[in-house]
Amino acid sequence: MNYKNLLDTFAWVEYFRGTKKGEIVRDCIKQGKVFTPTIVLAELSDVYERKKVPNWERDLAFIISKTTIIDLNQQLAIEAGKTKREIRKKYKTKFGLADAIILATARKMNAKVVTGDTHFEKISNVTFL
C-alpha cells in the first residue's frame, strides 16, 4: 500500500545522519508521495547553520528532488493557529506554532507526520520514529 507521508525536521536530520530511525525515513521516500513543508526547510537551515553541518545545498537539493514542497499559505496559516490551540487543549502540552504548521499541512495533504519529536507522541496519524 502506498501511504502519503510528511517528513518533519527530526525525520530529515535522522535520514541525513544515516541512523536506524533514518532508515524508516528512507523507506518512506522510496514509497513516494512524500511531502516537506517550507517551515521544515527553515528549521533545517537553522540546524545546519547553528551546528555547522556541511552539505546544506546538497541535502536541500535532495529534499526538493524527492519530495513535494508545500508552501505555507493563508489557509494553512489560519488552520495552524487553530491546530496549535486544539493540541494544547487536548494534550496539555507546549505544542509550538512550527509543529502546528507541520500538523495542519499533513492534515491538508491527508498524510502521516513522520517524526521523533516528542510533541507528536500522543497525536494520531503520526509515524513516530
Percent of the chain exceeding pLDDT 90 equals 97
Please state whether beta strands 126-128 and 68-70 pair in parallel, antiparallel, or not at all (unpaired).
unpaired
pLDDT confidence of residue 2: 60
Q: Mean pLDDT across the chain, nearest whole number?
A: 96
Q: Report pLDDT for 91.
A: 93
| Residue 1 confidence (pLDDT) | 45
In tens, the pLDDT along 79-113 reads: 999 999 999 999 998 999 999 999 999 999 999 99
Boundaries of domain holding 114: 5-128
Q: How many domains does the chain have?
A: 1
CATH number reported for the structural domain that contains residue 52 in this entry: 3.40.50.1010
18 three-class SS: coil
Average pLDDT over residues 66-85: 98
At 116, the pLDDT band (50, 70, 90 cuts) reads very high
Mean pLDDT of 121-125: 93
Cross-strand partners of 41:
none
- E strand map for the chain: 5-7, 34-37, 68-70, 112-115, 126-128
pLDDT for residue 7 is more than 60: yes
CB-CB contact of 97 with 72 (8 Å): no
Query: Contact 13/44 with Cβ under 8 angstroms?
Result: yes
Tell me the whole-structure pTM to 2 decimals. 0.95
The answer to whether the CB of 49 falls within 8 A of the CB of 17 is no
